[in-house]
Chains A and B, each alone.
Chain A
Amino acid sequence: MRYILDRLGFLLISAWAAVTINFILPRLMPGNPALLMVDRYQGELGPRALAAIKLQFGITSQPMLTQYWHYLGNLLQGHLGISLTYYPVSVSHIIATSLPWTLGLAGTATVIAAILGTLLGIFAAWKRNLRTDSILTTGTTFTGAIPHQYLGLLLLLILSYHFHWFPVAHSYSASMTPQWTFPFAETVVYHSLLPAVTIVVPGLGGWLLHMRNNMIQTLGDDYIVFAQAKGVSPRGVMLRHAARNALLPSVTNFAMAIGFVVGGVLLVEVVFSYPGVGYQLFTAVQNEDYPLMQGLFLIISLSVLVLNFLVDLLYGLIDPRARRTGVA
């Protein structure tokens, strides 16, 4: 219980940090960049929207603290402002339509990468010192250094533009409307295959290497020797005794891995014009749509934070020691 509270406390602190970064950044910049934006959209926006944006980005004579309270209050009510690109659509609405795509794509791809990479890591540790291990580690080291956008473009060039096997963009066929039917699900999966591969492949290496090194570290531990002494089979030693312990640091590694994944997903969405939050962030940046950008950054950060929180809870579940003492 203490462990859960501890993690919950950290979730709140980090969420507050993300929210505050969002508030401070535009105000920190020399010559408030939002001024330029307001100038640009002067004619297109109604006076009320303009006033709201000025307030949102600190173009006001109110003291900083009042602005901050105002900002927090708005957030708590779910007011993220209005998008300039899609005026007068609200930022929350854009997030609501784009977030599911990202969560679906990134979630599936990350789970696949984590499971596949971890299994390969166990396998590499099993075959340590042999050619298989060497090929696996070196190979995934290379794929791990490939930038996501590069891999995506290469796949597009070869499989979509040259062979026409896969669609070049979007998350579903333009001739269909989103609905809960099998044909629609089919087109969604078909459209998400290349983006998913593009996320999975560079991600494998980290999981593999981490798990492999942990396994080798764990295989030297005394309880492994004890298990061997008892007569546990090599397979049992690997899977029942070593893998579970070696998995623990991998779970904590998730916090760092997820950052890498999120960055990758953003770029992959841009490459494949996949209508998730990453693509919207790209649109916002191109159009200098600061309210949209802010809202997206916030929602991306919060999603990652909540995900981390859930993984921490999972960690508490599989490591009996963490439940009582808590982990750093």
Chain B
Amino acid sequence: MAEMTVNDTNKDLPNDSPHRARTSSLFGWIKVMKKNRKAQVGFIIFVGFILVGILAPVIARYSPTATNFPPLEPPNAQHWFGTTGLGQDVYAQFVWGTRSSLIVGFGASAISTLFAVVIGMYPAYWGGYLDRVMATFTNVFIVIPGLPLMIVAAAYVHDSSTLTMMVIIGLTGWAGRARVLRAQILTLRNREFVWAARLTGASDRRILVHEILPNMLSLFMASLMYGILGAILAEAGLEFLGLGNLTGVSWGSMLYWANNGGALLNGAWWWLLPGGLGIAMFGTSLALMNFALDEVTNPRLRQMSTLSRDRIVRAWHALRGESFQ
């Protein structure tokens, strides 16, 4: 979605000034987000999960791994989300699971975004042979299916620490976003303001840092967010196949234990429900925030949502009315 080119339909308004290009990055995003209800809802959910993750020790009430409660209790006053087949508190697991899932998500996304930047962006700026090789490399990694690759890698590694998980997910999930970043660099490289900077003798490093990077901030954010969502889903997948850290508590391992501990046979819906819902809700919050981002990179989407013809007519008459009265 971020691949779309910025293209104004409006021929009669000057629109390609460097200032406009620059402000349409991160601040543009924040501005659009302020007006976009979906993005606001997404942001609130997102912050909510972050808070749960940070405050886990305070709000969890019990240890997530303590097995000293009656097993398979439905939700009640003591155990808001019920208990597992082993007698663990599901609410505590959910809260602590939020923390560890977010850590893996953010960590893996940081790694994969770094890769996406180094492989997708840098060669693209200089172009030439290295860029072509890297582009092919990227395209190959896009088509090699990610989860099977992660599964095989994880099975060989035989180490399910959080860090290992992050590295495996990070190293396998960068390609799609590298391509998006590369496409953006290729268009930015030839924009007027970049040429202007080049003609005034600015160094490549200066151009990259001062001219190009500011215009890529929103894309970085998108990349990070898609990375987080992808990583959390991947982690849940690996955990579900028993390749994760099953002594730890995460949204993914909650699903694993619910499945393997007989939640289905016992009809223990409360055991199954929270883990996946956490992933789905958190993922939705990221995607909702991305709606605002799409509107920044794609003016046609923005125009569509904010500037209907009726509103223009109303606004104009309001303006005229003011100046006449």
**What is A's interface to B at a CB cutoff of 8 Å?**
10, 13-14, 17-18, 21-22, 25-26, 29, 33, 36, 128-129, 134, 137-138, 141-142, 144-151, 153-154, 156-157, 161-162, 168, 209-210, 213-214, 216-217, 219-220, 249, 255-256, 258-259, 262-263, 266-267, 270-271, 281-282, 284-286, 288, 290, 293-294, 296-297, 300-301, 304-305, 308, 328
Contact = CB atoms under 8 A, between A and B. Distances in A.
Contact of A142 (B147, B280, B300, B304): B280
A13 B237 CA distance: 28
Contacts of A145: 229, 233, 279-284, 286-287
A150 B4 contact: no
B143 interface: yes
Given A13-B136, A154-B276, A220-B7, 13 more contacts: A29-B156, A36-B158, A141-B288, A144-B287, A147-B240, A149-B259, A153-B259, A153-B264, A217-B300, A220-B300, A259-B176, A305-B143, A308-B143
A145 B139 CA distance: 25
Contact of A128 (B176, B240, B272, B304): B304
B301 A216 contact: yes
A213 B241 contact: no
The secondary-structure label for the interface of chain A is: helix
7 contacts: A25-B152, A213-B298, A216-B298, A217-B4, A263-B146, A270-B241, A293-B151
Contacts of A153: 255, 258-259, 263-264, 272, 276
B307 to A, nearest CB: 10
Interface residues of B, number: 65
Interface of B: 1, 3-4, 7, 9, 38, 135-136, 139-140, 142-149, 151-153, 155-158, 176, 229, 233-234, 236-237, 240-243, 255, 258-259, 263-265, 267, 269, 272-273, 275-277, 279-284, 286-288, 291, 294, 298, 300-301, 304-305, 308
Given A149-B255, A300-B148, A304-B143, A141 B287 contact: yes
A13 B143 CA distance: 11
A301 B280 contact: no
Contact of A17 (B140, B265, B275): B140
B229 to A, nearest CB: 7
B38 A249 contact: no
Contacts, number: 193
A138 B287 CA distance: 9
Contacts of A301: 144-145, 148-149
B152 A294 contact: yes
Nearest to B283: A145
Which 10 A-B residue pairs are closest in the complex by CB-CB distance? A145-B283, A150-B276, A263-B147, A262-B145, A146-B280, A14-B140, A141-B287, A220-B300, A220-B9, A17-B140
Contacts of A17: 140, 144
